[in-house]
Amino acid sequence: MNKTKGEIMNNFKKIGLTALAGSLAAVSANAVELSVSGETTVSYISNTAAKVNTIGGQSIGTSTGITFSGSGELENGWTVSSSNILNDGDANALSSSQLNLTMGSMGTVTFAKAAGTTVNAIDDVTPKVAEEAWDGASGSVLQGIGSSTNSGAVAYKSPSFDIAGISASFGVDYDPAAGGTGTGAGNDHDAVATKDTAKGSGHGFTVKLAHDSGLTVGAGQENVSSNSGNDAEAENVTAYALYTMGPVSVGYQGYYLNNGTASNLGTAAGADYSGDAIGIAFNVNDNVSIGYQKVSEDKEAYTSTPGVTRDIKSLSAAYSSGGMTMSIQQTDTDNYSMAAAGSELDTETVQVTLSFAF
């Protein structure tokens, strides 16, 4: 059947629109970079008295983490990137998830579903070779800084700028539901997050100064408001100094938690905490490194409860070759559970880890 001139023109239009749509799809696909990486770890742990909720003994375990990343550039030159880390060793499987909008010289805005805020990023910055010292103990107050404003939050990270030869940067965090899951009911992005009944909103800020000499100093503060007006308002503060000279890195970090008059950050009701950490790491060569880390913290006296102290000391060594790393770490903890005098429990943990990056 012969087609009219109008029908022929309509077909050409359809072909042209189809070709244009395919072209746009191709451009969009080419503008987006997708990548997958991961790490599998096998570990052997031996503990003389306690490891988390297990009393004594040894164990062998494996853990695999997979990172999905994607990024693309907008027409104005800004970059949008997304990162999601799935870890079968994490209780919630999703250990990190955030969307980053990098606005060139104006800095980066991070929408953190899980992790990615600025204060929590400095929960322990002292040099280390394997795991943090408190990983072989029962955790640390230092570990908790920024954790209440780290999920379902938004963060701004400034670019580095020069001040009299010093590279400076800062960050600001805001969480409307401090301590909340940040996922909402049924992991729905537009559902209200499950709030911590004692906490309102939270915010934090960080500042970092770095010099070409190898010296870096920084500080951070997290504040959590009351949900009802009757709960405590907590304040968590930390400051650190790091210095690197050739193969040696040393660092010091101090911290203080003003926990108010009620349990607001998961610690003992009313007790304030203070402490410090030191760390040193030495790269023997391109493959071998050794390190030492010590954390000392005090739970201060509150009403009739006396103050107590916990000391965590950790010595580690690691060997790396390509994508394989083998490490051994020994951690000694005095007063593991920060118990009252007469009830102290001292522990020794040895962990051997073999990990493969892919």
| pLDDT tens digits along 82-123 | 999 888 766 556 778 899 999 999 999 999 988 889 999 998
Residue 1, pLDDT above cutoff 60: no
Percent of residues, the chain, with pLDDT higher than 90: 47
Highest mean pLDDT of the ranges 18-32, 138-152, 273-287, 327-341 = 273-287
Q: What are the CB-based long-range contacts (under 8 Å, 24+) for 164-167?
A: 165/211, 165/212, 166/209, 166/210, 166/211, 167/209, 167/210, 167/211
In a domain, 22, yes or no: no
Torsion of CA 332, 338, 341, 346, to 10 degrees: -20
Query: Any idea which residue has 């000392």 for tokens?
Result: 296
Q: Which residue has the higher pLDDT, 16 or 328?
A: 328
pLDDT band at 23 (very low <50, low <70, confident <90, very high): very low
In a domain, 293, yes or no: yes
CA atoms within 13 A of residue 225's CA, in its CB half-sphere: 12
What is the C-alpha to C-alpha distance for residues 166 and 208, in angstroms, rounded to an integer? 10
Task: Determine the pLDDT at residue 9.
Answer: 45
| 141 exposure class (CB count in 10 Å sphere: 0-12, 13-18, 19+) | buried
- In this structure, what CATH number is given to the domain that contains residue 257? 2.40.160.10
pLDDT band at 231 (very low <50, low <70, confident <90, very high): low
Average pLDDT value for residue range 284-295: 96
What's the chain's average pLDDT?
A: 82
What are the residues whose beta carbons fall under 8 Å from the beta carbon of 299, sequence distance 6 or more? 267, 268, 271, 272, 273, 307, 308, 309, 310, 338
- For the question of whether the overall pTM of this predicted structure is more than 0.85, the answer is no
What are the Cα distances from residue 251, in Å, to 93, 283, 325, 327?
A: 32, 15, 23, 21
Is 277 in contact with 253 (CB distance < 8 Å)? Answer: yes
Q: How many CB atoms lie under 10 A from the CB of residue 226?
A: 17
Token representation of residue 283: 């790269």
Token representation of residue 309: 């102290």
pLDDT band at 178 (very low <50, low <70, confident <90, very high): confident
Instruction: Average the pLDDT over each of 129-133, 304-308, 351-355 and give the range with the smallest value.
Output: 304-308
In a domain, 10, yes or no: no
Token representation of residue 273: 């905490």
Task: Determine the pLDDT at residue 67.
Answer: 92
Backbone angles phi and psi of 289, in degrees to 5: -145, 150
Q: Which residue has the higher pLDDT, 297 or 56?
A: 297
Task: Determine the pLDDT at residue 339.
Answer: 80
In a domain, 35, yes or no: no
Which residue type, as a one-letter code, is found at position 306? P
DSSP for residue 207:
E
CA atoms within 13 A of residue 51's CA, in its CB half-sphere: 16
Q: How many domains does the chain have?
A: 1
Is 209 in contact with 167 (CB distance < 8 Å)? Answer: yes
In a domain, 2, yes or no: no
Task: Determine the pLDDT at residue 267.
Answer: 45
Token representation of residue 191: 């559902």
Task: Determine the pLDDT at residue 120.
Answer: 92
Q: Which residue has the higher pLDDT, 182 or 211?
A: 211
In a domain, 34, yes or no: no
Q: Which domain, by its residues, includes 55?
A: 45-357
Select from 294, 236, 245 the least CA-distant residue to 266.
236
Task: Determine the pLDDT at residue 92.
Answer: 59
In a domain, 219, yes or no: yes
In a domain, 322, yes or no: yes
pLDDT band at 300 (very low <50, low <70, confident <90, very high): confident
Q: Which residue has the higher pLDDT, 42 or 267?
A: 42
What are the residues whose beta carbons fall under 8 Å from the beta carbon of 281, sequence distance 6 or more? 127, 128, 129, 248, 249, 289, 290, 291
pLDDT tens track for 185-204:
445 566 666 777 778 889 99
Q: Which residue has the higher pLDDT, 180 or 242?
A: 242
Task: Determine the pLDDT at residue 16.
Answer: 47
